[in-house]
Amino acid sequence: MNSDPHIESNTSQEQDEWLIDDDGLLPALVSESAPELAPWRILIVDDDVDVHVVTKFSLRNVTYKGRPLMFLHAYSGKEGLNTLRTTPDIALVLLDVVMETDSAGLILARQIRGELDNQVVRVVLRTGQSGQAMEQSVIVDYDINDYRTKSDLTTQKLFTTVISSLRAYDSLLCAANSQQALKNAQSKIRELRLALDQHSLLTVTAKDGRITYVNDRFCNWSQYVADELLGQEHGMLLPSDQRKMFTQEVWISVKQGLSWQGQLPVCTKAGTPHKMAVSIIPSFDASGTPCSYLAIYSGLTTNHE
């Protein structure tokens, strides 16, 4: 994983037999006054020291989204696996195929997706062996993101490959973080509902207005059996003369994603209305659209009017 002492040595264009500098050195893409941000970690896995030297030299001025590149080095498939196992935030692996064995790079590509279960890191195979048949076979059989022949990989093509890989990694990472945040929020909601279940009367209504959940406390208070309420419109819990008001005022508001608080006369199975403080809170799906509504009832008072 550590940088090889040879990596810091100078190199020249004449040493670069597989990477042709067709456009000169790539310029820095941000000004020196840009704030210092965490670098993108790129792991070079190749048993040829010159490949490490030339790759780092060619990309030394490159930044993406204001973040520089940091290079990690491994010289075998086994060493690359250890580096990936201990460094989870690697964005891109530039991976040679033939190292300690003829298929060491392919084995590592499989281990990245399988053994390490890392579906986010981008994997680009670089090989000294050309051949359309081999390329097609590798692309189909291995979960890699690009396949490059070293003899065809110019400085500009390397730049394009790296930037496109970092862009894809960044998008996947944002999506994974958003998915995790959603899971965390859903977990918090479940914990909240569990806590409320112990102390409050609850119902949950789907976006079509039909009841999908009632807790035991609500059933005990209302004298309804849960099956008598599930699938019924929420308005059945109100006196008939209040249902139109509920539809026009309360339901329209919560369907727009707004929480609602107020007083409603809620009826037991016997038809007795009780004036209750009610809070109705929408839940949202991944697109931000209200998908269900949690109603919390409290402050029981028999309405004798």
pTM, rounded to two decimals: 0.59
Query: What per-residue confidence (pLDDT) applies to 19?
Result: 56
Helix (H, G, I), strand (E, B) or coil at 225: coil
Rounded (10°) angle between helices 77-86 and 104-113: 20
Query: What per-residue confidence (pLDDT) applies to 162?
Result: 96
Do the strands 201-206 and 290-302 form a parallel or antiparallel pair, or are they unpaired?
antiparallel
Pick the residue with more confidence: 142 or 3? 142
Which uninterrupted H or E stretch holds 109?
helix 104-113
Distance CA 69, CA 128 (A): 25
Query: What per-residue confidence (pLDDT) applies to 131?
Result: 62
Enumerate the β-bridge partners of residue 44: 73, 94
Amino acid at 243: R
Cβ–Cβ contacts within 10 Å for residue 155, how many? 22
Query: What per-residue confidence (pLDDT) applies to 304?
Result: 38
Query: What per-residue confidence (pLDDT) applies to 305?
Result: 39
Distance CA 249, CA 255 (A): 10
Report the b/e string of 109-135 with b at 16+ CB within 10 A: bebbeeeeebebbbbbbbbeeeeeeeb
Q: Which of 24-28, 182-186, 228-232 has the highest mean pLDDT?
A: 228-232
Q: What is the pLDDT of residues 157-206, one digit of tens each?
A: 999 999 999 999 999 998 888 888 878 877 877 777 777 777 789 999 99
Q: What is the pLDDT of residues 137-162, one digit of tens each?
A: 888 889 999 999 888 888 999 999 99
Cβ–Cβ contacts within 10 Å for residue 174, how many? 10
Structural domains of the chain, with CATH = 5-179 (3.40.50.2300), 200-302 (3.30.450.20)
- Beta strands per DSSP E along 130-239: 146-149, 201-206, 211-214
